[in-house]
Copies of this chain bind each other. A is one copy, B any other.
């Protein structure tokens, strides 16, 4: 099945059919036709409903087939069971795209999902692209095109502007439109994607990255359905200087469950999404209004060099709220440098060196302008927040005048207004200055900007670096590797692993000089320690007798278990035990993970995650992100651990994303022991799970 890519015409149909249009003004199915009219659609409109001869002044047709002219886009509003036939007619009429408003598909469970799959198959065969089902449609504001049933559009005059939105929740579109427009902000494209049966978030984001009217792409996400394509789109948008900003559900377990129940998609852990967003230059916000407040802060700017913000205010309490929250979010509030203070003093403006710069009461607005200009021009901060009190309400124009300095585009400038100040916020919005209504969204947006980084560059590998692992994987017939084979694969990636041997009986010679651990090798015995199937600190002279006893015990206790042999490996010790993991995440693809090993892993949830593969430098950052590993970097008089070797091991593990003969779905070293600085690391135990060998890498990558 070959699918045509969406063309930019998707947003500009010249003729649309409204299938299932109603003639009753109050009914939702009559709304689409009204909205096209209200918002000035200049193309042709064909209402389809066999019960009408005409609808609100336009001739109505019994079916799509009866329409006498070419149809670019069909909006399908008939009940779910009737949708498939309409899609067939779309194929027959070679309609380029159809939006399915109707619900009753994958969001309801397996039966609906099957119906949805059948419809998609029909559409693909016929070359029709599908938006939805279960969606509120699309809006092209500068193109005066609304293919939507969103009630909010009846109330709102649409204002044209640079914001484009893709939302997995239909009602969030309306919420964003109504809130943002009251703030003087305008939109370009708005798309509710619903179940994403065919056209997904990523593909629309690709279109928007190239769309001349789009200056920023906003995403409201419940789960990723096509993260690979979204990654490509985000990188393209980044190159073109268009910020991509996401609000994604799933920070908490209950949030993930709700997202799943609502969409039928899989939602992964919050840190996996964070890793994805960071890897591809997407800013993630955690407050609703940041989604439309942040764009004006960042449009025209690049990711910051550091993470320091200056605050200027005439109102201590409101500025304190912002500073306090920034502090909890890990953002540095930077007071003015001596140079800034001196330069201003020479111009007759006195400020203090405290972290928040207070404008003394009664100072005129030209002092405010001068201080703000000085902060925007100085290298000691990467962004500036201006906080205003009651004048925001009593004198809205004054707020704009205060911040309307020529230097305002030098770095991101946020304006927070403490009272209700709708007029001042709207004025700021119209002037392209980022206004904020709550201290929480202001601080959240500033954090999002200051955490923004250029997309992670692809890790380059040395010639032949993957020859070893590729050879091993090519030779493997099974879908999982045992402990010893797994350690062998890690060794081939350059990760030092403990010396180990698999023996089948006590007679077999083993070459160990140091104490060893002896373990049963069996896929059928799970809790080996509890089952007495692990012996630690066995001296070489005792190995044969321990092996013999363990085989005997196993035969007695687990008569039905398949025994692959007995694993003998050198005992290792060091300063810390960590887990280094790799997996193909169902949402975002290959990721690498660093966490604490042993019981600590289950008690502390701390871990660091990145999209794989990673560079050595990224791996070093991951090590620094685990608070419990701080002691390894030198703490008091404790010995330092070999953090460099640990970072090398993380990078090496992440290269599993690039092996070719087989697809590694999951791999874990647990524990990897970190020794003293200079003494390296050693993998002690691990596992590797492969995708069934029938699915070669190429296909798997394509599916992602």
B175→A318 contact, CB < 8 A? yes
* Candidates B155, B333, B354, B441; contact of A393 at CB < 8 Å: B155
Cross-chain contact A172 with B394 (CB below 8 angstroms): no
Q: Give the residues from 167 to 182 in chain A that come closer than 8 angstroms, CB to CB, to chain B.
A: 167-172, 174-175, 177-179, 182
Cβ-based interface call for A320 (8 A): yes
CB of A87 to closest CB in B, whole Å: 22
Number of interface residues, chain A, beta carbon within 8 A:
85
Given the interface contacts A169-B316, A171-B389, A393-B152, does A179 sit within 8 Å of B420 by beta carbon?
yes
Interchain CB contact under 8 A, A321 and B636: no
* A255 at the B interface (CB under 8 A): yes
Within 8 Å of chain B (Cβ to Cβ): is A528? Answer: no
Counting CB contacts under 8 A, is A212 at the interface? no
A355 within 8 A of B: yes
A314 neighbours in B (Cβ, 8 Å): 171
**Interface membership of A438, Cβ < 8 A:** yes
- A390 contacts the other chain (Cβ, under 8 Å)? yes
User: CB within 8 Å of B: which of A239-260?
Assistant: 247, 249-259
Q: Which residues of B contact A253 (CB under 8 A)?
A: 327
A475: Cβ under 8 A from any B Cβ? no
Q: Is the CB of A327 within 8 A of B631?
A: no
Q: In the complex, are the beta carbons of A320 and B259 less than 8 A apart?
A: yes
A419 & B174 in contact (Cβ 8 Å cutoff): yes
Given the known interface contacts A254-B326, A257-B355, the answer about A152 and B394 at a Cβ–Cβ threshold of 8 Å is yes
User: Which residues of B sit under 8 angstroms from A393, Cβ to Cβ?
Assistant: 151-152, 155, 174, 178
Is A301 interfacial (CB 8 A cutoff)? no
CA distance in complex: A602, B393 (Å): 46
CA distance A368 to B566 in the complex (A): 64
Inter-chain contact A169/B318, CB cutoff 8 Å: yes
B323, B324, B389: the one contacting A174 at CB < 8 Å is B389
**Cross-chain contact of A324 among B251, B324, B356 (Cβ < 8 A):** B251
B252 x A324 contact (CB < 8 A): yes
User: What's the number of copies of this chain in the assembled complex?
Assistant: 2
Instruction: Assess A178 versus B254: contact at CB under 8 Å? Given A167-B317, A318-B171.
Output: no
Asked whether A638 and B599 contact (CB < 8 A) given A175-B419, A222-B317, the answer is: yes
Q: What string of 1s and 0s marks CB contacts (under 8 Å) between A318-338 and chain B?
A: 111101111110001100000
Chain B residues near A167: list those with CB within 8 A. 317
Are A320 and B390 closer than 8 Å at their CB atoms?
Answer: no
A439 CB within 8 Å of chain B: yes
Instruction: Verify if A560 is at the interface (C-beta below 8 Å from B).
Output: no
Query: A14: shortest Cβ distance to chain B, in Å?
Result: 29
Judge if A604 is at the interface, Cβ distance under 8 Å: yes
A637 within 8 A of B: yes
Which A residues have a C-beta under 8 Å from some C-beta of B? 103, 150-152, 154-155, 167-172, 174-175, 177-179, 182, 220, 222, 247, 249-259, 261-263, 287-289, 314-321, 323-328, 332-333, 354-356, 358, 361, 389-391, 393-394, 418-421, 438-441, 530, 599, 602-604, 627-628, 630-631, 635-638
Instruction: Report 18 cross-chain contacts, Cβ distance below 8 Å, ordered by A residue.
Output: A150-B390, A155-B394, A169-B315, A172-B317, A175-B390, A175-B419, A252-B323, A252-B324, A252-B327, A253-B327, A254-B326, A254-B333, A255-B323, A255-B327, A259-B320, A261-B356, A288-B438, A602-B636
